[in-house]
């Protein structure tokens, strides 16, 4: 049964694959046997990830791409289909901050649109292009990555959680719309995750301090999305679709008070 | 066998409660296939023991050890004592899967006090007792632990005639969330697997019942799930390496059933 976790012969595209979680997922997917195409805007980052994967004995290629431009995204999926002959799974992982820091009633159009482009439209474009290819070939998996930041409402950067919430709805819609084409769709919801090892002691101390606010008492690490990526891209999750997989050290399961708050009342 | 380290349970000690049932049996086999030795706890001392022995034979054929135990999950003390005995005999404990299941489908006015109590005991209390004492064992062994509560998607959605059962599983869902908060700092992760319509559930999706079959087709994947589709997720959620940052989550194995709304 555990051969279901193997990704031998599968072709997988990971956007935002130049660093952080995308790099972690790409490396794990390749380790499990997949041929991986990593995509990001910066070719230099991609070259490093491709070299790392190849150095570990995996198969990887890259495609520099701005995922907010649907033409480039279509070209990316076409390139993957040409390179591998198919696209078994796509991880629409690219995203980012940006936008404006403003009161709600003053929040500017361009700030809102920029955040939606980076975090929601990009996922839609990537998923749409991949789904078209998957329908042609008879099936596949679409995985969109959002953030538990979608639950951080009511601050001056509300556009980000708004876009990230849209990504969850996108995954659920795709799950029902594409099930008939043998395509499963999921959303990955990472919590606070360190994108790379700490640069210095100050950063290490800052992360330790932030980690104290998580039930597991630490931040997530960049590689920890890897096993989930393997699970979702593989046949191990064959009867699952449309779910938002939260990987956040227990953050969203709680959240009713500061982490040290443990009510005591006995009778 | 999988090639990555993330799903390797070699040398680990597992306990599956409700191992005579399809989900528990599938999880026990998957644990063993991933390399673990498995204690098989059955809920009743009847033919359940024979069904667990079939699981045991499969596991032994894989070269792992397995042993069956009877555990009355309606009694906290019995869960505690049996679990302690199991840990002593199998030489440790790294993961516990809790998979009891007792379905009841009756109009609310027809459900008796005794039936309600029984449904709550088997579907919910069992999880509470098992997590309480699994945490006790992990603490005593001074090591991390993984707990998987197998529950139902009815724990977050309603269905006519399923009031007692749905309420019991709703209790399991939020128990998973609350227990995760309490135990996370001790590196004990508590997660749930919520089953949708599975092919063995003839007590609720009888092949002869046209309405039930329509309900099955209502899932996004348009079919019932199989036992072998539960095992890999349980292995993933029980891997110490793969789930250091996942707790308090319920993972539906439901073919997209709960994505309609």
Domain boundaries, chain B: 7-255
Distances in Å between the Cα of A13 and the Cα atoms of A40, A125, A163, B55, B163 are 11, 13, 22, 39, 44
Q: Please indicate, yes or no, if residue A81 is contained in any of the structural domains.
A: yes
User: From the candidates A10, A172, A253, which should be mutated to test the interface with B, based on the most B CB atoms within 10 A?
Assistant: A253
Give the end-to-end CA distance of chain B in Å, rounded to a whole number. 37
pLDDT for A99 equals 84
Q: Which of B:217-236 have CB within 8 Å of A?
A: 220-222, 225-226, 228-229, 231-233, 235-236
Q: What is the mean pLDDT of chain A?
A: 94
Identify whether the C-beta of residue B203 lies closer than 8 Å to the C-beta of residue B103. yes
**A121: its two tokens:** 């439209």
User: From the candidates B1, B2, B156, which should be mutated to test the interface with A, based on the most A CB atoms within 10 A?
Assistant: B2
Identify whether the C-beta of residue A24 lies closer than 8 Å to the C-beta of residue A226. yes
Q: What is the pTM for the complete model shown?
A: 0.94
Residue B36 has, within 13 A of its CA and on its CB side, a CA count of 32
Distances in Å between the Cα of A108 and the Cα atoms of A96, A115, A120, A156, A173 are 18, 11, 18, 12, 29
Q: Please indicate, yes or no, if residue A241 is contained in any of the structural domains.
A: yes
A260 falls in which pLDDT band (50, 70, 90)?
A: confident
CB-CB neighbors (< 8 A) of B184 in chain A: 214-217, 249-250
CA angle B171, B187, B29 (to 5 degrees): 70
How many distinct structural domains can be found in chain A? 1
Question: Domain range holding A71?
Answer: 2-247
Distance from CA of B242 to the nearest CA of A (A): 6
Task: Decide: residue B54, CB within 10 A, 0-12 exposed, 13-18 middle, 19+ buried.
Answer: exposed
pLDDT for B2 equals 52
pLDDT for A236 equals 96
Residues A228 and B237: their CA atoms lie apart, in Å, by 10
Complex confidence, ipTM: 0.90
Q: Please indicate, yes or no, if residue A267 is contained in any of the structural domains.
A: no
pLDDT for A78 equals 98
pLDDT for B1 equals 42
Helix H or strand E segment including A35 = strand A35-40
Mean pLDDT for back-to-back runs of 10 residues, chain B (261 residues): 81 98 98 97 95 97 97 98 98 98 96 98 98 98 98 95 97 98 97 97 92 92 96 98 97 91 60
pLDDT over threshold 90, residue A89: yes
pLDDT for A156 equals 79
Q: Return the CATH number at A180.
A: 3.40.50.720
Q: Please indicate, yes or no, if residue A150 is contained in any of the structural domains.
A: yes
pLDDT for B155 equals 96
Q: Which of B:80-109 have CB within 8 Å of A?
A: none
Task: Decide: residue B160, CB within 10 A, 0-12 exposed, 13-18 middle, 19+ buried.
Answer: exposed
- The phi-psi region of residue B147 (left if phi > 0; otherwise alpha if psi is between -120 and 50; otherwise beta) is beta
**B66: its two tokens:** 């397995």
CA gyration radius, chain A: 19
Q: Please indicate, yes or no, if residue A88 is contained in any of the structural domains.
A: yes
pLDDT for A154 equals 66
Catalytic one among A122, A125, A160, A194?
A160
Q: Please indicate, yes or no, if residue A242 is contained in any of the structural domains.
A: yes
CATH domain B7-255 topology:
Rossmann fold (3.40.50)
């Amino acid at each position: 049964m555990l051969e279901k976790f193997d990704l031998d012969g599968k072709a997988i595209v990971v956007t935002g694959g130049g660093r952080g979680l995308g790099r972690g997922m790409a490396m794990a997917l390749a380790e499990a046997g997949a041929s991986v195409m990593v995509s990001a805007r910066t070719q230099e980052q991609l070259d490093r990830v491709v070299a790392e994967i190849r150095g570990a004995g995996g198969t990887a290629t890259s495609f520099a791409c701005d995922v907010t431009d649907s033409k480039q995204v279509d070209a990316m999926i076409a390139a993957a289909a040409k390179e591998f002959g198919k696209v078994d799974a796509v991880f629409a992982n690219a995203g980012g901050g940006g936008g404006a820091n403003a009161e709600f009633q003053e929040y500017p159009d361009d700030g809102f649109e920029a955040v939606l482009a980076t975090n929601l439209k990009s996922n839609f474009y990537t998923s749409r292009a991949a789904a078209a290819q998957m329908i042609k070939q008879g099936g596949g998996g679409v995985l969109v990555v959002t953030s538990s930041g979608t639950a951080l409402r009511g601050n001056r950067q509300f556009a980000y959680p708004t876009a990230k919430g849209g990504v969850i709805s996108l995954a659920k819609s795709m799950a029902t719309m594409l099930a008939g084409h043998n395509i499963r769709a999921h959303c990955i919801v990472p919590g606070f995750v360190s994108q790379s090892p700490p640069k210095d002691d100050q950063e290490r101390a800052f992360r330790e301090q932030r980690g104290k606010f998580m039930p597991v008492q630490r931040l997530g690490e960049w590689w920890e999305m890897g096993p989930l990526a393997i699970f979702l891209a593989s046949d191990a999750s064959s009867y699952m679709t449309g779910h938002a997989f939260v990987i956040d050290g227990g953050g969203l399961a709680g959240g009713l008070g500061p982490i040290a708050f443990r009510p005591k009342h006995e009778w | 066998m999988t090639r990555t380290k993330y799903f390797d349970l070699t040398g680990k000690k597992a306990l599956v409660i409700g191992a005579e049932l399809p989900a528990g049996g599938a999880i026990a086999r998957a644990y063993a296939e991933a390399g673990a030795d498995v204690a098989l706890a059955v809920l009743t001392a009847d033919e359940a023991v024979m069904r667990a022995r079939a699981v045991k034979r499969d596991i032994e054929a894989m070269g792992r050890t397995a042993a069956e135990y009877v555990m009355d999950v309606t009694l906290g003390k019995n869960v505690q004592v049996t679990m302690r005995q199991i840990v002593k005999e199998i030489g440790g404990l790294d993961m516990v899967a809790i998979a009891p299941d007792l379905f009841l489908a009756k109009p609310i006015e027809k459900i008796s006090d005794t039936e309600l109590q029984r449904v709550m005991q088997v579907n919910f209390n069992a999880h509470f007792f098992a997590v309480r004492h699994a945490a006790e064992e992990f603490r005593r062994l001074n090591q991390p632990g993984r707990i998987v509560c197998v529950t139902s998607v009815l724990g977050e959605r309603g269905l006519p005639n399923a009031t007692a059962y749905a309420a019991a599983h709703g209790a399991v869902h939020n128990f998973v969330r609350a227990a995760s908060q309490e135990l996370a700092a001790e590196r004990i992760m508590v997660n749930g697997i919520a089953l949708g319509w599975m092919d063995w559930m003839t007590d609720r999706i009888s092949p002869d019942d046209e309405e039930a079959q329509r309900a099955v087709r209502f899932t996004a994947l348009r079919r019932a799930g199989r036992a072998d589709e539960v095992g890999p997720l349980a292995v993933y959620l029980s891997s110490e390496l793969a789930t250091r940052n996942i707790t308090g989550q319920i993972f539906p194995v439901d073919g997209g059933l709960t994505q309609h709304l």
